[in-house]
Chain A
């Protein structure tokens, strides 16, 4: 009996190794045309997910709660590539030498713009947000943020932003798995969007509270009033405009493809 069990176990192991090995077979991806029929990882609720659904024939879509989980699955060989925003892709590839980025003309021709989202009709918050972005763009604060979070040498220095507010809070909704815009640094959440949120809170004269949740929960949370604004590298799309009001854009980005080398 024991022998039979042992044999079955070995067989099972061998089979799983075979299958795991099978899916690791290298797919040559040079551009968008090669994506057809592949297993593609995306982050739920992102523009990358929508693009893959609409434009890739016969795709086996794998939606993850975070782009980083998708990258992990790519590393493990379960999927063939990941479609994600440019800067998070760079951050991922930087920390994972086995992965590489592929750019496509169709993506760079259709740049996306990140903006901060507020609840539809919430003019009070929107005005503060827009005023803050305009001020940052005119007083050089914006360039400082870019230099801090997207440095040429890769060494991020998180700026400290003074906020003397005593009472009141404003809630920033984000998904802290999108470096360098929002990510976990040690035990805190940091990033370009978070620093911008600090400026917004300081301008509004209140403290900032960061609420970290799944990307696809952000808009429902905004509508339910559990957060005051979204700063999560969210691109402006027609679909989203129906549900939220966007600030003036603060960053232009594009989608890229991450593959195994």
Chain B
């Protein structure tokens, strides 16, 4: 058993592949969540605005991006949309995941904002705050707290979904596992290694966001 782990992972420095893949996975996930969060903020505000055009754009965006499977989307971005630009495939992957995550973040944020009791808006407005002031000073701080758990799960989903990046030849961790499987004819060691690392990542992330949540909950008491 230890011998086969050694033969599969250590010999020929194959573990390096896993680490390279892990780096790519993390890079894609982190960059994508940043893009997604920024996009989500903008689009969520567009969707709750009174302007019909802005609202329409927001709705169209979330409908299309959430309505297509991620693997399909990724290939559309790589082979069709960004193909004429000749961007590096890692950049395309980050953009594709970011744009996709943006759609989910939009809905998460919108739900959070609209979940704040309407009385809060009314109170703010009757205190003489402008619409904008009410949104940024009263509604958003409360929404952030409400949104955090769902936002965490979006981040976790994103990390896991990077595993289809190999569709466009990005060497993420799953692909690294694939390459090891193809080189060693051993399926379970590379796959289990990847599985454990994904689990550690998602567990760690959940813990980190748990701490955030508890910090924010302090002001409730």
Which residues in A have some Cβ–Cβ distance to B below 8 Å? 65-66, 68-69, 71-72, 75, 92, 95-96, 173, 176-177, 183-187, 211-214, 217, 220-221, 224-226
Which residues in B have some Cβ–Cβ distance to A below 8 Å? 12-14, 16-17, 20, 75, 78-80, 83-84, 86, 89, 166-169, 171, 175, 178-183, 185, 187
Judge whether B78 and A68 touch: CB under 8 Å.
no
Judge whether A226 and B79 touch: CB under 8 Å.
yes
The 10 sampled A-B contact pairs (Cβ below 8 Å) are A68-B181, A72-B187, A173-B169, A184-B182, A184-B183, A185-B183, A187-B13, A187-B16, A214-B167, A221-B169
Judge whether B84 and A225 touch: CB under 8 Å.
yes
Judge whether A186 and B182 touch: CB under 8 Å.
no
| Given A186-B13, A221-B169, A225-B84, A72 and B79 contact (CB-CB distance below 8 Å) | no
Bound complex: CA A212 to CA B171 (Å): 8
Bound complex: CA A69 to CA B186 (Å): 10
| Given A213-B168, A220-B79, A226-B89, A183 and B182 contact (CB-CB distance below 8 Å) | yes
Chain A neighbourhood of B79, CB < 8 A: 220-221, 224, 226
Partner of A69, one of B20, B80, B169, B182: B182
Judge whether B13 and A71 touch: CB under 8 Å.
no
Partner of A68, one of B12, B14, B169, B182: B182
* Minimum CB–CB distance for B87 against chain A, Å: 9
Judge whether A66 and B171 touch: CB under 8 Å.
no
Chain A neighbourhood of B187, CB < 8 A: 72
User: Which 8 A-B pairs rank lowest in CB-CB distance, beginning with the nearest?
Assistant: A186-B12, A213-B169, A224-B83, A177-B182, A184-B183, A187-B16, A184-B179, A68-B182
Bound complex: CA A92 to CA B185 (Å): 9
Closest to B83 in A: A224
Tell which of B78, B83, B182 has the most Cβ of chain A within 10 Å: B182
Closest to A92 in B: B185
Judge whether A71 and B185 touch: CB under 8 Å.
yes
Judge whether B20 and A187 touch: CB under 8 Å.
yes
Judge whether B14 and A226 touch: CB under 8 Å.
no
* Minimum CB–CB distance for A203 against chain B, Å: 22
Chain B neighbourhood of A177, CB < 8 A: 179, 182
Bound complex: CA A217 to CA B169 (Å): 9
Bound complex: CA A213 to CA B185 (Å): 19
| Given A184-B180, A224-B79, A226-B79, A212 and B16 contact (CB-CB distance below 8 Å) | no
Chain A neighbourhood of B78, CB < 8 A: 224, 226
* Minimum CB–CB distance for B181 against chain A, Å: 7
Bound complex: CA A181 to CA B131 (Å): 66
Partner of A187, one of B12, B178, B182: B12
Closest to A173 in B: B169
| Given A66-B182, A220-B79, A224-B78, A185 and B12 contact (CB-CB distance below 8 Å) | yes
Bound complex: CA A86 to CA B86 (Å): 36
* Minimum CB–CB distance for B180 against chain A, Å: 7
Bound complex: CA A229 to CA B114 (Å): 52
* Minimum CB–CB distance for A68 against chain B, Å: 5
Bound complex: CA A69 to CA B178 (Å): 9
Tell which of A96, A177, A214, A226 has the most Cβ of chain B within 10 Å: A226
Judge whether A187 and B83 touch: CB under 8 Å.
no
Partner of B83, one of A173, A183, A186, A226: A226
Chain A neighbourhood of B80, CB < 8 A: 224
Chain B neighbourhood of A71, CB < 8 A: 185
Tell which of A68, A177, A184 has the most Cβ of chain B within 10 Å: A184
Bound complex: CA A213 to CA B166 (Å): 7
Closest to B86 in A: A225
Judge whether A68 and B17 touch: CB under 8 Å.
no
* Minimum CB–CB distance for B15 against chain A, Å: 9
Chain A neighbourhood of B20, CB < 8 A: 187
Bound complex: CA A61 to CA B183 (Å): 24
Judge whether B181 and A217 touch: CB under 8 Å.
no
Chain B neighbourhood of A226, CB < 8 A: 78-79, 83, 86, 89
Judge whether B183 and A72 touch: CB under 8 Å.
no
Chain B neighbourhood of A187, CB < 8 A: 12-14, 16-17, 20
Judge whether B179 and A176 touch: CB under 8 Å.
yes
Bound complex: CA A186 to CA B183 (Å): 8
Judge whether B12 and A211 touch: CB under 8 Å.
no
